[in-house]
Structure 1
Amino acid sequence: MADRRRRWRSGAVALCLLLVTPAGCGGRTAADPARAEVQQVLDRRAAALLRHDETAYAATGARGTYANLRAVPLASWAYRVTGLRHTGATVTAAALLSYRVRGYDRAPVTTERTLALGRTADGRWYVASDRPAQKAGQQLWDQGAVSAARGAHSLVLGVGQSERELNAYARLADRAVPAVSGAWGTDWTRQVVVLVPRTLDAMAGLLGSPASSYRGIAAVTTGEAGGPARAPADRIVVNPEAYALLGDAGKQVVLTHETTHVATRAHTTPATPLWLSEGYADWIGYLGTGRTPAQAAPELSRAVRAGRVPADLPADGDFGFTGDPARLAQAYEGGWLACRMIAERWGEDRLDAFYRAVGAHGRRAGAVEDALRRVLGTSLRDFTDRWRAYLRTSLT
């Protein structure tokens, strides 16, 4: 399931009356020379990390990050200082860290960091600590030394797993990528990065959310929705505790589902309802498994057999991780059956075209209705009625 947290950016209005200086509203405060010096230290630190020069890295301060990142193939790594706070002889720097994993990321991952720096006896700055900013999620190397396993189409990064365990993830991911390409097409990177933290709590730390939000969730995909120009760097993040409870077939379905989110991300926009994005990912995930609707949709099947057929397609609010588990399961199952119905009634090519048409719509309102009319030749009311009838015939 995708972790579709939307980030809203608001502009800040600076009031001249609050910033009165002798030069008036256009005046400048004196530059802090320490800021440029700290930036230089971080530049040297980044360069040393990229060229694998541990001695040069250690000369800039604490070396824990270097050891934890040793197995990660980095294409870029850069800090940009955004703020500095002095406390006696030390400073605390706020910085944006941007990095790319070589061969996998077409755009950098950017995260906020807080760095504490001190001075040596001869006045040189050094990094004492580098940690996530207060409201930012952890990075995997914040949790310990990262191990890596490479597949033909995948890179699996983990903390606390054996080589055998990481290779098992890579094999499943390598099967997922061609399965997704066979259904969706090849207009995506056709490679995935899978993060395997040690525990559920560690997973929650990566996502910057309470562990309770993901209890029972086997994996999520992070990334920003948008058009192809955004070229996001997605990550599949595994909950090792829930994932371990699945059988081999279930593990494959989960990784294929999450890989579908990576493939479709550029065409998944705020106009795309969750019943479509999650249902489509499940549709590809279940392809070829032989699972019947009743087997793959047990919660919805029980409801339909009891005469409780949903009146409408699942709403985005039905997909909340912290709500009723039965309601969440029914939302996923309902979305999957909607996509399955499209593939059976109109064809798999039309399902693909419908997904893309919804995401390409300029606004959320009317996106589904317009795509239903143009691609499937139906209305939302007719489609919903067909879906409700499909639930009855498929699940009873």
Structure 2
Amino acid sequence: MSPVRRAASPLPLPLPLLVVCLLVCGLLSGCTAPAPPDTADRDVRAAVAAWAQRPPAALAGIPLDGWAYEVTGVRRDGARATAAAELRYRLSGYDTAAAGSAREVRLSLTGGQWRVTGDAPAPGAPPQLWDQGPVAVARGAHSLVLGSGQGGPALTAIAAEADRAVPAVNAAWPRPWAGRLVVLVPGSLDAMAALLGRPAAEYRSMAAVTTGSVGGGPAPADRIVVNPQGYAELTPEGRAVVLTHEATHVATRTATSATTPLWLSEGFADWAAYRGTDPAPDRAAPALGRAVRRGELPARLPRNEDFAFGGDPEALARAYEGAWLACRLVARRWGDAALADLYALAGREPLPVALRKALDTDEAALTEAWRDTLRSGPVP
């Protein structure tokens, strides 16, 4: 029988030698230096911060304060990088809080340093006026007008009209507001729509719109954005009405909330705009007059959905005209101060409560009085 072979057992190492081996192995494993930290993202952020200290030439003349980019993310592809950032800035003397804009900043690695090569609106974010080309500036006593292109007399005239709108608003809304207007004049209807992030068709029949956040608290100043094509077609009287209407929205913004019905918001702005001339309803409300003559007397005050842009222009005109006539009725029957009180209350409380407190009436009675004015024509 073959002898059974057993695997040889290793001889045990003496304890001192074992300890030495462990120490050597530990030292050897620690001899490999850790990989240097990747500082590229930090360097990209630093490059964006340094670049933001030198605003582009397109912004020359704009009174900027606090211009800064807050980088929220970095994507790198070799020697190129894109930084997602939030632009924050103020228009000095107009904004009580920073305005914001989502941006993408492009960079390239040159000579071992990251350098900004340009920036643009983030995907899905609307552009700023200066993204559309050089910006011209016109200043009025109460207004700042920023326009695409060379500017000149057109912007100066708009600044003068905006200045005249401010005292007209003060007379209609005797409550605190900034008393200053920021007006943006893009180069075309399409450029206007791009600034607002909406289709151009929605603004084709509008000469201007106002942007801003409702409610109180510090906020960037509202921007009145002019449709240059629609505005150019207006008479001088029409331009005054448009800018005073939009300026009224600016003045009443902090008193406006989700509870404010659009018939009151839009009607009050038109009432303030027409207040100095007080045209007859058959002249200032032709679309509604035609409907009444056809036997289409509205059953209710205009609803919020009746003011949607991009729909039937005739229906939209009837909504605005009906809202103006409702506010005109309140001012004539209860007084200008009562109308302003109603507006202020409607931004804080449900409309039935506001009507009772300001006018001691209800919506049904107000609606019937309004319908009577439509039947009979001008309010005496």
TM-score (norm 1): 0.84
2:366 is the alignment partner of 1:383: yes
Q: For 1:322, which of 282, 307, 310 is the aligned residue?
A: 310
- Tell me which residue corresponds to 1:102: 92
Please give the residue correspondences for 1:11-50 in structure 2 after superposition, counting only pairs within 5 Å.
33-49=39-55
Q: Which residue of 1 aligns with 2:261?
A: 273
Q: Report the CA distance between 1:328 and its aligned residue.
A: 0.5
Match in the other structure for 1:116: 106
- Root-mean-square deviation (Å): 1.5
The one of 58, 61, 71 equivalent to 2:61 is 71
Spell out, residue by residue over 1:22-55, the C-alpha distance to the aligned partner (whole angstroms, 9 max, x if none). Answer: xxxxxxxxx9743332322222222233xxxxxx
Match of 1:134 among 113, 118, 123: 123
Task: Name the structure 1 match of 2:233.
Answer: 245
Equivalences for residues 48-67 of structure 1 within 5 A: 48-49=54-55, 66-67=56-57
Matched, 1:185 2:170: no
1:68–1:145 Cα contact (<8 Å) kept: yes
Could you report, residue by residue, the CA deviation over 1:229-277 in whole angstroms, capped at 9, with x for unpaired residues? 1434210000000001100000000000000111011111111111111
Q: Given the two structures, how large is their TM-score scaled by the length of structure 2? A: 0.87
Spell out, residue by residue over 1:6-30, the C-alpha distance to the aligned partner (whole angstroms, 9 max, x if none). xxxxxxxxxxxxxxxxxxxxxxxxx
Counterpart residue number, 1:88? 78
**C-alpha deviation, 1:119, in angstroms:** 1.0
CA distance in 1, matches of 2:306, 2:39: 52
Give the equivalent residue in structure 2 for 1:373.
356
Residue by residue over 1:153-204, the C-alpha shift from the partner in whole angstroms, topping out at 9 and shown as x without a partner, is 0011101253111110011000001110111025111000100011101101
Question: Which residue in the other structure is 2:15 paired with?
Answer: none
SS of corresponding position for 1:80: strand
Report Cα offsets for 1:267-298 as digits up to 9, x if no partner: 11111111111111100011112421111111
Query: Which residue in 1 is equivalent to 2:9?
Result: none
Whichever residue aligns with residue 213 of structure 1, its letter is: E
Say whether 1:153 aligns with 2:121: no
Gaps of 5+ in 1: 1-30, 50-65, 362-366
Structure with max Cα Rg: 2
Give percent identity, aligned residues only: 54
What secondary structure does 1:187 align onto?
coil
Letter in 2 for 1:383: L
Q: Which shifted more, 317-326 or 156-165?
A: 156-165
Which residue identity lines up with residue 355 of structure 1 in the other structure? Y
Asked whether 1:194 is paired with 2:183, we answer yes
1:233 aligns to what SS in structure 2?
Answer: coil
2-side partners of 1:32 and 1:374: how far apart?
66
Using the alignment, how far apart are the partners of 2:122 and 2:228 within structure 1? 25
How many pairs are equivalent? 343
Specify the SS of the correspondent of 2:347.
helix
- Write out per-residue CA displacement over residues 57-95 of structure 1, whole angstroms, 9 at most, x where no aligned residue: xxxxxxxxx121012110221111112222222121111
309, 333, 345: which one pairs with 2:321?
333
Can you give the 5+ residue segments of structure 2 that lack an aligned partner in the other structure? 1-36
SS of the equivalent of 1:96 reads strand
CA drift at 1:395: 5.4
